[in-house]
Structure 1
Amino acid sequence: MRLLRSTDLALRVLMRLAVTGDPNPTTRDVATAMDVPYTHAAKVVAELQHMGLLTARRGRGGGLGLTEEGRTASVGALVRAFEGEGDVVDCEGTVGSAPCPLSSACRLRGALRRAQEAFYATLDPVTVADIVADPTGPLLLGISPRP
């Protein structure tokens, strides 16, 4: 299973905010530190803010901050939210393509669905705080550019 870039970026933004030595970095600071386009980072930050996982304040003294909910957020729930509900494969067909001729008797779709749920179930008990615990947190600080 491959995560969307937005999911990967959301996880990295939360991890960065969880260990940052820079109080209240801006979205631009985070985008620069992660070497991603500002527009992509801004979309992800807006979604994380909407989810209540971080705060974003504009102007002097503004910046991004991780909420307590963001620190204790389930990685599985976060990945589900960004990846969306849906199957690993598109058996119904998309616009312009026919549905799979095996769909009425296919066992692959069910197996893939179970594997996907096992993937999420493994991530559900893991929190953002867990993924930045030693040795990851200090390493993240060491590779983050200094303000």
Structure 2
Amino acid sequence: MRLTTRTNLAMRALMFCAVNEGRIVRKSEMAKACNASENHLAQVVNTLSQTGYLQTVRGRNGGIRLAKAKDHISVGAVFRKFEAHLPLTECFDRDHNTCPLANSCRLPTYLVGALGAFYSYLDGISLADLVNDNVELSTILSVAAPIVSQLEKAETPSVT
């Protein structure tokens, strides 16, 4: 089985938002950290927001953030949103199936079971499982807080 780029980007986007929890992130920041084009990422973010995983905030200070707690986002559920409409093999697509074995082959039955086990396993994994205590991932995906310029520091009175 091979996951689509959209599913991969969906998980990257969710992990990016989870690592930067409590902060509204920009699509450009996400695209840079996730090594993705902003246009492709925009499509994925749109799907994630329509399905209730991300919230988009409009306006000058707008951006993207998680719409649910990271421990309530199941990896299996996200995968289903992006992968379920794609046939696993040609024989799963009745309209375009040209396999001469289709009527007698037992493999699809076993593939359905294997796919069910795959999703069932991923259902038990949350976004929190992917990001919590993952220092290396946090280092890669964290958006640094704005740096205060030397001029601003000089103008701020120190309390002693």
Distance 1:87 1:114 in 2: 14
> Secondary structure at 1:110's aligned position in 2?
helix
Distance 2:22 2:53 in 1: 18
How do 1:41-56 residues align onto structure 2 when only pairs under 5 Å count?
Answer: 41-56=41-56
What per-residue deviation string (whole Å, max 9, x for no partner) do you get for residues 102-133 of structure 1?
Answer: 11110111111111111101101111112112
Question: TM-score, structure 1 length as denominator?
Answer: 0.86
Counterpart in 2 of 1:146? 144
For 2:79, give the aligned amino acid.
V
Counterpart in 2 of 1:121? 120
Distance 1:52 1:103 in 2: 38
For 2:115, give the aligned amino acid.
Q
How do 1:43-122 residues align onto structure 2 when only pairs under 5 Å count?
Answer: 43-68=43-68, 71-91=71-91, 92=94, 94=96, 99-122=98-121
Distance 2:52 2:102 in 1: 39
Distance 2:26 2:111 in 1: 39
Are the equivalent residues in 2 in contact too, given 1:75–1:124 (CA < 8 A)? Answer: yes
Runs of 4+ in 1 over 4 A off after TM superposition: none
Question: TM-score, structure 2 length as denominator?
Answer: 0.80
Are the equivalent residues in 1 in contact too, given 2:52–2:68 (CA < 8 A)? Answer: no
What per-residue deviation string (whole Å, max 9, x for no partner) do you get for residues 53-93 of structure 1?
Answer: 11111222211111225551111111011012454111246
The sequence identity of aligned pairs, in percent, is 37
Are the equivalent residues in 1 in contact too, given 2:131–2:138 (CA < 8 A)? Answer: no
Are the equivalent residues in 2 in contact too, given 1:7–1:82 (CA < 8 A)? Answer: yes
Are the equivalent residues in 1 in contact too, given 2:53–2:66 (CA < 8 A)? Answer: yes
Q: Which runs of 5+ in 1 are unaligned?
A: none
Distance 1:113 1:39 in 2: 33
Counterpart in 2 of 1:131? 130
Are the equivalent residues in 1 in contact too, given 2:25–2:64 (CA < 8 A)? Answer: yes
For 1:133, give the aligned amino acid.
N
CA RMSD, 1 decimal: 2.0
Q: Which has the larger radius of gyration?
A: 2
